[in-house]
Amino acid sequence: MYIPKHYMIQSEDIIYEIIDQHGFGTLFSQHNGEPCATHLPLNLNKEEKTLYGHLARANEQWKDAVDQQVLAVFQGPHCYISPSWYETNKAVPTWNYVAVHVYGQLEIIKDNRTIVKSLSNSVEKYEKPESSYQLKDVDASFVEGLSRGIVAFKMNITKIEAQAKLSQNHSVERRKRVIQHLEESCQHDNMQVAELMKREL
């Protein structure tokens, strides 16, 4: 990923926070000599430095993804930045965003207990604490039957690249004006970008 120096995220904690908060990623690999991508939730294990996920067994991307380096992309908040928000119109539009690229090797998981644990971790992460649904309460034979239709994997991370393009190349005064306009929009991504820009200030 091309990353200008002033946009680079170097803090491992911040990178892991982005992956955790925006865990619906895109897994890229080469399949049959062509680029292939699957959109899927990926769960980070910080201690292992791995990502856990699964593909539908019918999705043949898994068949050759294990023999190559793969890329998982996590897209954080992003939004359009209008030059009309600046103190002058002698400028061009741009886009502010946060993105993390994770490189690694896939390892297929065959142990059923590990597969169920991976699925349970996803449920625990995304279900609300007061939710009546827990995977452990579902009939084990039903879960086992469904698990035959997936290929579970862990991705052993070899490299991470991350950037936050948040108007750092502009003056503090201009960035404050951008933040003000983003907050006035009330759109979720705009509000998140505004909050990240405040941190940078």
Instruction: Give CATH for domain 5-171.
Output: 2.30.110.10
pLDDT tens digits, one per residue of 13-72: 999 999 999 999 999 999 999 999 999 999 999 999 999 999 999 999 999 999 899 999
Q: Which of 117-121, 135-139, 142-146 has the highest mean pLDDT?
A: 117-121
Place 74 in a pLDDT band, splitting at 50, 70 and 90: very high
Q: Is the pLDDT of residue 146 over 90?
A: no
Q: What is the pLDDT of residue 145?
A: 80
Chain centre distance of CA 42? 8
Write the CA distances from 167 to 27, 29, 66, 171, integer angstroms.
Answer: 28, 32, 38, 8
pLDDT tens digits, one per residue of 37-46: 999 999 999 9
DSSP string, 25-36: EEEEEEETTEEE
Q: Distance (Å, rounded) from C-alpha 55 to C-alpha 151?
A: 5
Q: Is the pLDDT of residue 193 over 90?
A: yes
Q: What is the pLDDT of residue 141?
A: 82
Torsion angle in degrees (nearest 10) through CA of 10, 11, 13, 19: -20
Average pLDDT, the chain: 94
